[in-house]
Chains A and B, each alone.
Chain A
């Protein structure tokens, strides 16, 4: 029943929840409202963030039909520690945030921030990270990205402060045409976990790219990745030096029928945990990635 969430009653007395709950709904909200009930909802997520108090378990609920644009850098700047922004989801209906500027983004900019059930749409070509994580212990849960105009260059990006980031249930409906680099780009994100994701797009670098600063002890598992780019790379350690487990339960589809199975995961300092399946031609079934198996040395 995780796809059916009814809208709960915010409790103004705080008896049932140890923090404040703010409601956001662009359909009937106003940023001059108090946001403590649905009939006095706020109109933007950032307005709700500005009402939150750090580390008090404040929650922002976003109505399923809510829609707003990410029209500038830090359009949504979740810079209050511990805030959870939860989109209420009904089937495939969830709040939609459309990027209308190349740098338009939602930032997870304080420790312990999480976003859930939000759909991001690339409404302009070459967006540079519509979700940016720059703090520790953040989480991106059951969110979705969709290319609409052109292709995002990168979708989720981090800074080196994004330690212990959790990305769970992320769905990326990228465009088939070239123009993208990655869906997830980690920079120095220690102990990051990426799981239960479905990623499709045209990734010139790799669907998941570890770049600039090594990310130690990552875990990437239970994901399905399909790249339409001739680079044929699903997971890559561009910076070289990142460590961690890749697998189990990865399923990877490449574009070219070529000598590319091994390189679907590129990273000399990773470990692969089977099963990691790779397929490079339609009408075939995937094979186990042909990395060298460990032995009793």
Chain B
């Protein structure tokens, strides 16, 4: 009996070859690994030993990193993580996905998904090789001032339908990067604390062609919910996101480097903390462009307005 997420099963049940995004591409899991092009490894902290084979649910390993160490690079290996799986990120590289092409998929049931709790400031999950994907994982800030529970340093990586939640204090930064080209962040949900202490939810450092979409980010961000920092990121695209910041700095998206380029929008909606002269600065970046609908609101009981950036003109 395979454990599959409701989303995958729904996609299968809606199978329609004439629909490009939910047709032939969304195919139900088959967990009979003899038919797959790579190995499937199973992780469940409720099992008893991390020296098991990891080849089925009855013999699952108890940590994700143990499963990573069983994988072969660029072989299509998948790691499935049980919905009730829980483990701590108790040190730097607690989970170090350093094998290229590995996909770690949390099996999700509604709001239940595997939970990884940061219990050390440096505790993190690293996407440290090319073509690594994580999906349906919940990260919890179990200690104050964590410095990036998700760190991406490989190219062509993806963070899909993951979640972060502050539990103790506030994360300083949540998802950090370094020279991670063509990163995809899709469906990232951040439930941050309202109290001061955080800097960013997503920090891009030299992440050319990064795409951030379908994200819902709430927290108190001194430096912006999404920030470009240290080395410019070229040709990024941020769209279809909702951002709320409790921080009095009132920053939604900011290019701290002042050289990053790319599209901001369409369909970005930002709520700021203060009823002040701050709407234009909700997106700060002299080398960005705004396209389509980008709206900003700075007071409860009001509706947002289109961000008051200068419009292009025929010169």
Contacts of B266 in A (CB 8 A): 249, 251, 277
Contacts of B25 in A (CB 8 A): 2, 5, 86, 89, 116-117, 141-142
Knowing A2-B26, A86-B24, A253-B289 touch, does A279 contact B76 (C-beta < 8 A)?
Answer: no
Instruction: Say whether A38 contacts B133, CB under 8 Å.
Output: no
C-alpha spacing A57/B265, complex, angstroms = 39
Instruction: Say whether B314 contacts A63, CB under 8 Å.
Output: no
Q: Which of B267-315 contact A (CB under 8 A)?
A: 285-292, 294, 307, 309-315
Instruction: Say whether A262 contacts B314, CB under 8 Å.
Output: yes
Knowing A25-B37, A63-B37, A284-B309 touch, does A6 contact B27 (C-beta < 8 A)?
Answer: yes
B160 within 8 A of A: yes
Contacts of A5 in B (CB 8 A): 25-27
Task: In the complex, identify which listed stretch (A150-158, A235-243, A285-293) lies at the interface while the others stay far away.
Answer: A285-293
Contacts of B186 in A (CB 8 A): 3
A204 within 8 A of B: no
Tally A-B pairs: CB < 8 A: 207
Instruction: Say whether B21 contacts A63, CB under 8 Å.
Output: no
Instruction: Say whether B312 contacts A280, CB under 8 Å.
Output: yes
B245 within 8 A of A: no
Task: Give the shortest distance, in Å, between B2 (CB) and chain A (any CB).
Answer: 10
Instruction: Say whether A38 contacts B20, CB under 8 Å.
Output: no
C-alpha spacing A286/B20, complex, angstroms = 29
Knowing A8-B27, A226-B263, A253-B289 touch, does A287 contact B312 (C-beta < 8 A)?
Answer: yes
Instruction: Say whether B27 contacts A285, CB under 8 Å.
Output: no
Instruction: Say whether B160 contacts A4, CB under 8 Å.
Output: yes
Contacts of A253 in B (CB 8 A): 263, 289, 291
Instruction: Say whether A59 contacts B24, CB under 8 Å.
Output: yes
Q: Mark B1-35, 1 if CB is under 8 A from A, else 0.
A: 00001011001000000001110111111101011
A296 within 8 A of B: no
Instruction: Choose one: B78, B184, B307; the contact of A92 (CB below 8 Å).
Output: B184
Q: Which of A123-178 contact B (CB under 8 A)?
A: 139, 141-142, 166, 168-169, 173
Instruction: Say whether A3 contacts B158, CB under 8 Å.
Output: yes
Instruction: Say whether A259 contacts B289, CB under 8 Å.
Output: no
Instruction: Choose one: A4, A141, A168; the contact of B103 (CB below 8 Å).
Output: A4
| Nearest-CB residue, chain A, relative to B131 | A93
C-alpha spacing A98/B311, complex, angstroms = 40
A1 within 8 A of B: yes
| Nearest-CB residue, chain B, relative to A41 | B37
Q: Is chain A's interface secondary structure helix, strand, loop, or mixed overall? A: loop
Residue of A6, A92, A168, A281 with most chain B CB atoms under a 10 A cut-off: A6
Instruction: Say whether B20 contacts A166, CB under 8 Å.
Output: yes
Instruction: Say whether B209 contacts A173, CB under 8 Å.
Output: yes
C-alpha spacing A262/B315, complex, angstroms = 12
Task: Give the shortest distance, in Å, between A203 (CB) and chain B (any CB).
Answer: 15
Contacts of B294 in A (CB 8 A): 285
Contacts of A278 in B (CB 8 A): 312
B153 within 8 A of A: no
Task: Give the shortest distance, in Å, between A170 (CB) and chain B (any CB).
Answer: 11
| Chain A residues with a Cβ closer than 8 Å to the other chain, count | 65
Q: Mark A1-15, 1 if CB is under 8 A from B, else 0.
A: 111111111100000
Task: Give the shortest distance, in Å, between A172 (CB) and chain B (any CB).
Answer: 11
Contacts of A198 in B (CB 8 A): 237
Instruction: Choose one: B156, B265, B309; the contact of A251 (CB below 8 Å).
Output: B265
C-alpha spacing A39/B307, complex, angstroms = 55
C-alpha spacing A217/B22, complex, angstroms = 26
| Nearest-CB residue, chain A, relative to B183 | A92
Q: Which of A244-287 contact B (CB under 8 A)?
A: 249, 251, 253, 257-262, 275, 277-287
Q: Which of B67-89 contact A (CB under 8 A)?
A: 74-76, 78
Contacts of B78 in A (CB 8 A): 6, 90
Instruction: Say whether A91 contacts B286, CB under 8 Å.
Output: no
A182 within 8 A of B: no
Knowing A281-B312, A284-B309 touch, does A3 contact B8 (C-beta < 8 A)?
Answer: no
Instruction: Choose one: A4, A93, A249, A283; the contact of B156 (CB below 8 Å).
Output: A93
C-alpha spacing A169/B213, complex, angstroms = 15
Instruction: Say whether B75 contacts A2, CB under 8 Å.
Output: no
Instruction: Say whether A92 contacts B314, CB under 8 Å.
Output: no
C-alpha spacing A5/B313, complex, angstroms = 44
Task: Give the shortest distance, in Å, between B235 (CB) and chain A (any CB).
Answer: 6
Q: Mark B241-272, 1 if CB is under 8 A from A, else 0.
A: 00000000000000000000101011000000
Instruction: Say whether A287 contacts B311, CB under 8 Å.
Output: yes
| Nearest-CB residue, chain B, relative to A198 | B237
Contacts of A139 in B (CB 8 A): 20
B59 within 8 A of A: no
B196 within 8 A of A: no
**27 A-B contacts, Cβ less than 8 Å apart?**
A1-B5, A1-B11, A3-B160, A8-B28, A9-B36, A38-B36, A38-B37, A65-B38, A65-B75, A65-B101, A91-B184, A116-B20, A141-B20, A141-B25, A168-B21, A226-B235, A249-B292, A251-B291, A253-B263, A259-B314, A259-B315, A278-B312, A279-B312, A285-B307, A285-B310, A286-B289, A286-B311
Using A4-B135, A39-B35, A198-B237 as known contacts, list a sample of 9 further A-B pairs with CB atoms less than 8 Å apart, ordered by residue number in A: A2-B25, A3-B133, A7-B37, A9-B32, A27-B75, A91-B160, A93-B103, A116-B25, A284-B309
Chain B residues in contact with chain A, CB under 8 A? 5, 7-8, 11, 20-22, 24-30, 32, 34-38, 74-76, 78, 101, 103, 105, 131-133, 135, 156-158, 160-161, 182-184, 186, 209, 235, 237, 261, 263, 265-266, 285-292, 294, 307, 309-315
